[in-house]
Chain A
Amino acid sequence: EVQLVQSGAEVKKPGESLKISCKGFGYSFTNNWIGWVRQMPGKGLEWMGIIYPIDSITTYSPSFQGQVTISADKSISTAFLQWSSLKSSDTAIYYCARRTASDYDYWGQGTLVTVSS
């Protein structure tokens, strides 16, 4: 069974760094893209970017370029989303999702990130 399992909720202060994770189970992790999606409180889905774990080729939305870093460690079937300096506006639920050629089929359960002083 394909599953994406994300790391747990985080509470951070502005200016702190953070790295959240998304671990794939039940499929060949290296042969499928992993995308990250933001959902701010009460708002819609926003596509942030994507990584191909086999070679770590990464594409970012222009809105998120330079704001976050997407990476992956294929040896542990895990993708990461990280911030070097969080802002209160980063408060959101972050989802990872598996992308095949043209399809985001399986989604993680989401990671709630709260940034507050």
Chain B
Amino acid sequence: QTVVTQEPSLTVSPGGTVTLTCASSTGAVTSGYYPNWFQQKPGQAPRALIYSTSNRHSWTPGRFSGSLLGGKAALTLSGVQPEDEAEYYCLLFYGGVQVFGGGTRLTVL
């Protein structure tokens, strides 16, 4: 069973920068896994942020960026805002099957 691993929790100060990562049990994450990133706030449906590693949606603030870093997919938030406090999930494509990571709870403090 494929496992996708994220940091369980991270804390960042307002205005700071933080990087969340997404690792695959099968080995290095490449662009062929089409990493997606989602934000979920309590009581809300997930919201898409990034697709295919680094592509933002039209509604995604510019402070969110996606990349590959050290064999993992990465989501970097620069100039963090209080409203960025949320759960963040990555999703990787394994051919016809997709797998979510366990999520990272980001606290802005």
Mark B residues whose CB is within 8 Å of A: 1, 34, 36, 38, 40, 45-48, 51-52, 55, 57, 87, 89, 91, 93, 96-103
A66 within 8 A of B: no
Question: What 1/0 flags go to A34-74 for Cβ under 8 Å of B?
Answer: 01010000001111001000000001011100000000000
Q: Which of A50, A103, A105, A109 contacts B45 (CB 8 A)?
A: A109
Taking chain B's interface residues, is the majority helix, strand, or loop, or is none over half, making it mixed?
strand
C-alpha spacing A59/B99, complex, angstroms? 13
Question: Which residues between 80 and 117 of chain A lie within 8 Å of chain B, taking CB atoms?
Answer: 95, 97, 102-110
**14 A–B contacts from the bound complex (CB under 8 Å):** A44-B87, A45-B40, A45-B89, A47-B98, A47-B99, A47-B100, A50-B98, A61-B99, A63-B1, A95-B45, A103-B34, A103-B55, A107-B45, A107-B47
What CA separation (Å) do A13 and B109 show in the bound complex? 43
A44 touches B102 (CB 8 A): yes
- Determine how close the nearest CB of chain B comes to the CB of A12; give it in whole angstroms: 22
Decide yes or no: A47 and B97 within 8 Å by CB, A95-B45, A103-B36 being known contacts: yes
Contact A104 B38 (CB under 8 A): yes
- Excluding A45-B46, A102-B36, 11 further A-B contacts by CB distance (< 8 Å) are A35-B98, A37-B100, A45-B100, A45-B103, A95-B46, A102-B34, A102-B52, A103-B51, A107-B46, A107-B48, A110-B45
In this complex, how many residues of chain A approach chain B with their Cβ under 8 Å: the count is 22
Q: What separation, in Å, do the CA atoms of A62 and B2 have in the docked complex?
A: 10
Q: Closest B residue to A100 by CB, please name it.
A: B51
Point out the residues of chain B lying under 8 angstroms from A63, CB to CB. 1
CA distance A103 to B40 in the complex (A): 16
Question: Chain B residues with Cβ under 8 A from A103's Cβ?
Answer: 34, 36, 48, 51-52, 55
